[in-house]
Structure 1
Amino acid sequence: MACSSSSNAKMSNPNVSTPAMAVTPDAVDQKTSPVVFEIYGKIWNVQARLGQGVSASVYRVNSGRASSAVKEFQVDAQGGDYGYLKESSVLEKIQGHKNIVTLYGMFTNHNPFGVATHCLLLELLDVSVSELLVRVSNQGHSMWLIQHCARDVLEALSFLHREGYVHADLKPRNILWSADDECFKLIDFGLSFKDGHQDVKYIQTDGYRAPEAELQNSLAKAGLESDSGCTTAVDLWSLGIVLLEMFSGIKLKETVKSQEWKDNSSAIVDHIFSSNALVYPAIPVFHLRDLIKSMLHNDPKLRSTAESALNNPFFSIPFAPHIEDLVLLPTPVLRLLNVIDDNHLYNEDDYEDIIEDMKEECQKYGTVVSLLIPKENPGKGQVFVEYANAGDSKEAQRLLTGRTFDGKFVVTTFYPLSAYKRGYLYQTVQ
């Protein structure tokens, strides 16, 4: 890719390819996993196993340029399909919200051994909050990312609770980023139930389990009945722990199981925030701490609701994403850094040649909708490439990262499509 009509600079591959922040799903075991699914008369190839639980496995599947997720349920011990019927029925009733995973359809898969399994065809999402926590271990996420995740999950819970449902298994692994919609979405409704009609004894995951759910589980194990079922308040407790982990960068499973936490969780939250006080601005820290503490009352009746939590002043503060956020969260817009020198921006012929060369190169990886190279700050000399979808931008990021241009290594990040469309280019990203 020529820098200009008079330049000999080319973009070349490094000796060793090192794509940044690549997610590596489980390899598909051909002996135990399907190779293809036939869905509505069309063959979908299994590309990777994204996760495996006690009752179901999730696969990334592809048919042509379309990619989706398939959740395949195992037949339970009694030969029934309770898990499949439970999750599909809940998902069908809560469709249409931007922060809840989209259900495309349901089908039965007949494998070569004559076993029929029930499956859900779902929207394919990207990185989970669990993976994000691993990548920034012990340092915590930016306020922009915490606010983005908190708002998206609260919007989903507010909708879910208005519809009369409790998610009952909120945790980092069940909050996933949608690269095309640029938001976080909730998945996995296998333990969900109608508020006031709890039909699942053991709910929530260890480390994110509300005190009343912990008590109920203990009674159930002892063969005793609880006086009352759990409510939507259990979801707010789980979210409070998730946000505390995102702020601290520390997994809190052992902390929330400790006697010190049971005796005075508020003091532990204060200690976590005081330990990180120098890293974050004081006012946002105060509001975030207040928001989290409102979700972590031992008495579920005192906990904030999802709707009231959205009114916390924390959500009125504008934040810009850090560069780590733009590397971690894919979008349809790719940003190339360390590519264009200032002297190429002010010669009109050179500039037009650069635009055309960049388009030609970037179109090798997907459909380019638009391309922008600002001549002035903010964004001076950076290349913004809008692809038709996030799949194309991720492929471009994978193949362009680490290549050299005019003797310089190309650096790539993603960029918020919403900001790009508004012409808002962040002046500085820490």
Structure 2
Amino acid sequence: EFGNGCLWLQIPVVFEIYGKIWNVQARLGQGVSASVYRVNSGRASSAVKEFQVDAQGGDYGFLKESSVLEKIQGYKNIVTLYGMFTSHNPFGVATHCLLLELLDVSVSELLARVSNQGHSMWLIQHCARDVLEALSYLHREGYVHADLKPRNILWSADDECFKLIDFGLSFKEGYQDVKYIQTDGYRAPEAELQNSLAQAGLESDSGCTTAVDLWSLGIILLEMFSGIKLKETVKSQEWKDNSSAIVDHIFSSNAVVYPAIPVFHLRDLIKSMLHNDPKLRSTAEAALINPFFSIPFAPHIEDLVLLPTPVLRLLNVIDDNHLYNEDEYEDVIEDMKEECQKYGKVVSLLIPKENPGKGQVFVEYANAGDSKEAQRLLTGRTFDDKFVVTTFYPLSAYKRGYLYQTVQ
């Protein structure tokens, strides 16, 4: 977790990366061994993870994470590593850094936005599928992530999917070189036992397996469904005695909100990940064929506000009478294009004359950075004496001409 584990030097102002100057725009997170920054070169934005030299003067954390990331590159649900470099600060201290793809909102931030009222089935399914795809690939390659938690699952606005980050505790199955794995609240029972033995100076008979990642995901999905942080629940004796009954209770108290069949499938999917015995736990591959993933869900309007994409949707802008007069319709399209181009390159613009989507304005930008800027500056503006309401819209659906009747 990002915390105040150590005293850091002040935030760097710039990094020199491959001969180019990148300006530091913000610190995105800070941990015991590394800090993450958003950087911009004038043409592109990225993330830099800067590792502190450890107490022994070594660079174990950097070497560990970079070696894992290098071996698992090229998979869509895993953060992209662009390169590695050494930074020399004004005090003469050299630090090792990773140049990474810049991602967007984390599942941790999404959970903070729903408080005590779970996420939509569309969002839970999207996140579950993306993370299982990533784990399936990671586990096939023989790696255990070993620190899956909401903060380490981030949304990619340009690729429209969730991606895994932070491979600092990852290890090759059968060669566990990290004593303490996972984070409180998301730690599998066998990892809990191993951590306790290590604290007592004892070795456990066997290392942890890929099953620890499935346990963490089960807890994350249960939190997304319930809207409740379960850290205290999973520490309780009741949970240790009968976690299945607690999962049933959470589902029965939330089930009213959702249609029954998807709820049963999601409950069974989560339960399959939360067996105390790791050998009985579902694998990522098996979880992906759960019937929950064959149900088509539509996003709720909140989902489209929370998850940025390159497509912006403007509501409450166009009167019906503009749609049926051809000259007025063309004028409106031109006006909207002109306005929207102020914030970035517009690839296409659509205003449907009929439902679904009647009178809504869909603006496809060249990238999500531009659509986010447009969303920030257009929300609350007036157009024809009307307040503009904005949401994002899934690019994949827009490209297929599929306009959801959004669930309110």
TM class by shorter chain equals: over 0.9
Indicate if the aligned counterparts of 2:190 and 2:208 stay in contact, CA closer than 8 A.
Answer: yes
How far residue 407 of structure 1 moved from its aligned partner, in angstroms, is 2.1
Of 365-374 and 400-409, the range deviating more from structure 2: 400-409
Distance in 1, Cα, partners of 2:151 & 2:52: 20
Distance in 1, Cα, partners of 2:18 & 2:313: 38
Distance in 2, Cα, partners of 1:428 & 1:49: 35
Distance in 2, Cα, partners of 1:427 & 1:360: 27
How far residue 350 of structure 1 moved from its aligned partner, in angstroms, is 0.5
List gaps (5 residues or longer) in structure 2.
1-10
Distance in 1, Cα, partners of 2:108 & 2:377: 26
How far residue 99 of structure 1 moved from its aligned partner, in angstroms, is 0.1
Distance in 1, Cα, partners of 2:315 & 2:43: 28
- Report sequence identity in percent: 96
Within a 5 Å distance, the mapping from 1:175-190 to structure 2 comes to 175-190=153-168
Distance in 2, Cα, partners of 1:277 & 1:391: 37
Map of 1:171 onto structure 2: 149
How far residue 357 of structure 1 moved from its aligned partner, in angstroms, is 0.7
How far residue 65 of structure 1 moved from its aligned partner, in angstroms, is 2.7
Distance in 2, Cα, partners of 1:126 & 1:404: 28
Aligned residues: 398
How far residue 380 of structure 1 moved from its aligned partner, in angstroms, is 0.3
List gaps (5 residues or longer) in structure 1.
1-32
How far residue 63 of structure 1 moved from its aligned partner, in angstroms, is 0.7
How far residue 70 of structure 1 moved from its aligned partner, in angstroms, is 0.1
Distance in 2, Cα, partners of 1:385 & 1:408: 18
Indicate if the aligned counterparts of 2:37 and 2:48 stay in contact, CA closer than 8 A.
Answer: yes
Distance in 1, Cα, partners of 2:343 & 2:382: 17
How far residue 64 of structure 1 moved from its aligned partner, in angstroms, is 1.0
Distance in 2, Cα, partners of 1:258 & 1:424: 46
Within a 5 Å distance, the mapping from 1:331-370 to structure 2 comes to 331-370=309-348
**Secondary structure, counterpart of 2:266 in structure 1:** helix
Distance in 2, Cα, partners of 1:428 & 1:422: 16
Map of 1:400 onto structure 2: 378
Given the alignment, which residue of 238, 244, 247 partners 2:222? Answer: 244
Partner deviation per Cα, 1:253-287 (whole Å, 9 max, x = no partner): 00000000000000000000000010011000000
How far residue 40 of structure 1 moved from its aligned partner, in angstroms, is 0.0
Partner deviation per Cα, 1:161-208 (whole Å, 9 max, x = no partner): 000000000000000000000000000000000001000000000000
Distance in 2, Cα, partners of 1:379 & 1:305: 40
Partner deviation per Cα, 1:202-235 (whole Å, 9 max, x = no partner): 0000000000000000000000110100000000
Distance in 2, Cα, partners of 1:44 & 1:386: 28
Indicate if the aligned counterparts of 2:301 and 2:406 stay in contact, CA closer than 8 A.
Answer: no
Distance in 1, Cα, partners of 2:239 & 2:386: 51
How far residue 404 of structure 1 moved from its aligned partner, in angstroms, is 1.1
Partner deviation per Cα, 1:61-103 (whole Å, 9 max, x = no partner): 0011300000000000100000000000000000010000000
Partner deviation per Cα, 1:17-47 (whole Å, 9 max, x = no partner): xxxxxxxxxxxxxxxx100000000000000
Partner deviation per Cα, 1:330-353 (whole Å, 9 max, x = no partner): 000000000000001111000001
Within a 5 Å distance, the mapping from 1:200-219 to structure 2 comes to 200-219=178-197
Distance in 2, Cα, partners of 1:250 & 1:156: 25
Distance in 1, Cα, partners of 2:405 & 2:207: 51
How far residue 429 of structure 1 moved from its aligned partner, in angstroms, is 2.5
Partner deviation per Cα, 1:401-425 (whole Å, 9 max, x = no partner): 0111222210000000000000000
Map of 2:305 onto structure 1: 327
**Secondary structure, counterpart of 1:345 in structure 2:** helix
Indicate if the aligned counterparts of 2:157 and 2:310 stay in contact, CA closer than 8 A.
Answer: yes
Distance in 1, Cα, partners of 2:270 & 2:343: 42
Distance in 2, Cα, partners of 1:112 & 1:282: 61
**Secondary structure, counterpart of 1:402 in structure 2:** coil
Map of 1:44 onto structure 2: 22
**Secondary structure, counterpart of 2:329 in structure 1:** helix
Distance in 2, Cα, partners of 1:429 & 1:384: 17
**Secondary structure, counterpart of 2:371 in structure 1:** helix
Distance in 2, Cα, partners of 1:72 & 1:363: 36
Task: Detail structure 1 runs of 4+ shifted over 3 Å in the superposition.
Answer: none
Partner deviation per Cα, 1:318-340 (whole Å, 9 max, x = no partner): 00000000000000000000000
Within a 5 Å distance, the mapping from 1:43-192 to structure 2 comes to 43-192=21-170
Distance in 2, Cα, partners of 1:236 & 1:429: 30
Distance in 2, Cα, partners of 1:222 & 1:402: 58
Indicate if the aligned counterparts of 2:50 and 2:98 stay in contact, CA closer than 8 A.
Answer: yes
Distance in 2, Cα, partners of 1:429 & 1:386: 22
**Secondary structure, counterpart of 1:302 in structure 2:** coil
Map of 1:15 onto structure 2: none
Distance in 1, Cα, partners of 2:378 & 2:304: 16
TM-score with structure 1 setting the length = 0.92
Distance in 2, Cα, partners of 1:244 & 1:260: 17
Distance in 1, Cα, partners of 2:199 & 2:224: 32
Partner deviation per Cα, 1:95-153 (whole Å, 9 max, x = no partner): 01000000000000000110000000000000000000000010000000000000000
Within a 5 Å distance, the mapping from 1:243-322 to structure 2 comes to 243-322=221-300
Distance in 1, Cα, partners of 2:16 & 2:343: 28
How far residue 427 of structure 1 moved from its aligned partner, in angstroms, is 2.2
Indicate if the aligned counterparts of 2:299 and 2:406 stay in contact, CA closer than 8 A.
Answer: no
Distance in 2, Cα, partners of 1:80 & 1:426: 53
Distance in 2, Cα, partners of 1:339 & 1:345: 12
